[in-house]
Amino acid sequence: MDFEALKKYSALHPKPAGLALQYGTAGFRSKAEQLDHVVFRMGLLAVLRSKAVTATIGIMVTASHNPEEDNGVKLIDPLGEMLHPSWEEYATQLANAEEQELQKVITEICQKAAVNLHKDASVFIGRDTRPSSEKLSQSVIDGIQVLGGQYHDYGLVTTPQLHYMVCCQNTQGQYGKATLEGYYEKLSKAFMELIKQSHCSGESQRHLKIDCANGIGALKLSEMKPYFPQEVAIHIYNDGTKEKLNHLCGADFVKVHQKPPGGLDMKPNERCCSFDGDADRIVYYYKDTAGHFHLIDGDKIATLISIFLKEFLAKVKQDFKLAVVQTAYANGNSTRYLQDTLKVPVHCVKTGVKHLHHKAQEFDVGVYFEANGHGTVLFSKAAETKIRQLVKEEKDDEKREAAKMLENMIDLINQTVGDAVSDMLVIEAILALKGLTVQQWDALYTDLPNRLLKVQVADRRVIDTTDAERRALTPPGLQEKIDALVKKYKLSRAFVRPSGTEDVVRIYAEADTQENADALAHEVSLAVFYLADEI
């Protein structure tokens, strides 16, 4: 390794003294101006990771749902999954090393992770539409080049598109072609195969209004439009030409505020959806004739997909194990509906797609969604192989047709990570195939009224949690206080956790009425505010 060159380049990407950042829920996130040294060093780390696993690694510059002024960076592992947790630690060490320690930290990582420096390295790069992203991705390239890695810069792509490219590359094309055309062709072909079998052609079911959060989703959907069948008319709003990224729009805004985004005029009963800033999350919604807003979040998306999969998995009669993975944010009534009505096992894990993905891998078919609309479906290799085999060889027509339906679903779903474009097509296909309106989908169960709040405290790390983040271990007395507050209301539940993407503590509460959910969330936030700052 040429440490002299490293020293020279690193000096061009200096670390602000005293600044310490952590690889959080989805990589590093901070104000963009604090990230130059971090992205340079993540370029270095991507090269080391690539050498360690002898595969292409992805690196995405984005801060997804965060405000436009923020930015972030995360690494993507060979099959398109999130970076392995053991390397998250190395990422944090490398990002926080003082200039003079850099060489030592790199050497230590190489020793601990048995990195063979003589191997080749290959890195795929992508970025979102933030004004700071282009320059930051140049710094990533500096990091890759100084360690002699090869790179392919995809430029502006959605986060899930980059995950897809990495997976395609490392499976030698088995997962698909590692190009944008390859992605559009794969998804649109599977989608068309599916809707060919739908019998409903109501005008209202073909139009969809999409709020793209003023982000990359608008660009990529426009590119994809020519690939869509005529039966689907998508209308793009908040395309980034007028307003700021994620400002008063996007999936996070709609979910947190439980109201429609700005910039999208909604007529009664029209089906609408919102992507987030890097198009890995999606939520649906509509306004009824009385003008009331109805949110259809990740929990209801998981439910719709589970209903569909359960029906078709039963038809192929293979005894595949289907399960749903949620987080503590899942609405209590969604969990009850899935378990008690649909009879699908539900598992709860910590926030962060990486945790849900990991758990979902335990089943033949694992549906995972965060309530915020981030999720996908995983099919085990064995299940996928069996389904494809049934399509080719099964003599029983009904069984073979059901297998075909599942096969197209497998191809339509981006199994590497939650993907707003792919999820949208999955949902649109299921609604068309089952002849469901958005209102009928919404009516599967009624969400318990809930409220999400955030509180700023001096140091959010004073909050430590357990039991998939449902209980607080510290600061002392906080959980007892939450328990006492929860007891005041019916059907109530509340929890707190430090965010891994913003400098805030998140509070979630649900109860029998909206007033009670709001009051409980407010009281819990006051408890957090006082107890966290006492430490």
Q: Is 120 annotated as a binding residue?
A: no
Give the closest residue to 26 by CA, choosing from 252, 257, 301: 252
Q: Is 127 annotated as a binding residue?
A: no
Q: How far apart are CA 1 and CA 74, in angstroms?
A: 24
Q: Is 10 annotated as a binding residue?
A: no
Tell me which stretch binds ligand G16 (CB under 6 A): 224-232, 292-300, 349-357, 517-525.
Answer: 349-357
Q: How far apart are CA 234 and CA 231, in angstroms?
A: 10
Tell me which stretch binds ligand G16 (CB under 6 A): 140-148, 229-237, 500-508, 524-532.
Answer: 500-508
CB 249 within 8 A of CB 238: yes
Binds ligand G16 by CB under 6 A, chosen from 310, 500, 518, 530: 500
Q: How far apart are CA 527 and CA 256, in angstroms?
A: 21
Q: For the range 166-175, what are the long-range contacts, defined as Cβ-Cβ under 8 Å and sequence gap of 24 or more?
A: 166/56, 166/57, 166/58, 166/76, 166/77, 166/78, 166/79, 166/80, 166/124, 166/416, 167/78, 167/79, 167/80, 167/416, 169/56, 169/122, 169/124, 170/55, 170/56, 170/78, 170/79, 171/79, 175/80, 175/416
Q: Is 139 annotated as a binding residue?
A: no
Least Å distance between CB 444 and ligand G16?
Answer: 23
User: What does the per-residue mask of binding to ligand G16 show for 255-294, with x meaning CB under 6 A?
Assistant: ---------------------x---xx-------------
Asked if residue 506 binds ligand G16 (CB under 6 A), the reply is yes
User: What does the per-residue mask of binding to ligand G16 show for 460-499, with x meaning CB under 6 A?
Assistant: ---------------------------------------x
The helix or strand, by DSSP H or E, that contains position 480, with its residue range, turns out to be helix 478-487
Asked if residue 25 binds ligand G16 (CB under 6 A), the reply is yes
* Choice between 81 and 411, CB closer to ligand G16: 81
Tokens read off for 151: 């790179």
Asked if residue 357 binds ligand G16 (CB under 6 A), the reply is no
Radius of gyration of the chain measured on its C-alpha atoms? 23
Q: How far apart are CA 318 and CA 135, in angstroms?
A: 51
Tell me which stretch binds ligand G16 (CB under 6 A): 134-142, 209-217, 348-356, 401-409.
Answer: 348-356
Binds ligand G16 by CB under 6 A, chosen from 15, 255, 374, 386: 374
* Choice between 139 and 372, CB closer to ligand G16: 372
Tell me which stretch binds ligand G16 (CB under 6 A): 263-271, 287-295, 314-322, 351-359.
Answer: 351-359
Least Å distance between CB 531 and ligand G16?
Answer: 20
Q: How far apart are CA 420 and CA 151, in angstroms?
A: 26
Q: Is 278 annotated as a binding residue?
A: yes
Q: Is 429 annotated as a binding residue?
A: no
Active-site residue, selected from the candidate residues 10, 30, 50, 64: 64
All residues at 6 or more sequence positions from 361 whose CB lies less than 8 Å from its CB, including other chains: 378, 380
Q: Is 371 annotated as a binding residue?
A: yes
Least Å distance between CB 245 and ligand G16?
Answer: 12
Q: Is the dihedral of CA 26, 158, 279, 416 positive or negative?
A: negative
Asked if residue 64 binds ligand G16 (CB under 6 A), the reply is yes
Q: Is 64 a catalytic residue?
A: yes
CB 376 within 8 A of CB 414: yes
Q: Is 218 annotated as a binding residue?
A: no
State which of positions 302-331 bind ligand G16 (CB under 6 A). none
Task: Please count the residues of this chain forming the interface with ligand G16, following the rule CB under 6 A.
Answer: 18
The DSSP annotation for 157-219 comes to --HHHHHHHHHHHHTTTSS--SSHHHHHHHHHHHHHHHHTT-----GGGTEEEEE-TTSHHHH
Largest CA distance in the chain: 70
Binds ligand G16 by CB under 6 A, chosen from 68, 299, 370, 469: 370
Asked if residue 133 binds ligand G16 (CB under 6 A), the reply is no
> Where on the chain is the footprint of ligand G16 (CB under 6 A)?
25-26, 64-65, 276, 280-281, 351-353, 370, 372, 374, 499-502, 506
Among all residues, which ones are annotated catalytic?
A: 64
Residues that constitute the known binding site for Mg(2+): 64, 276, 278, 280
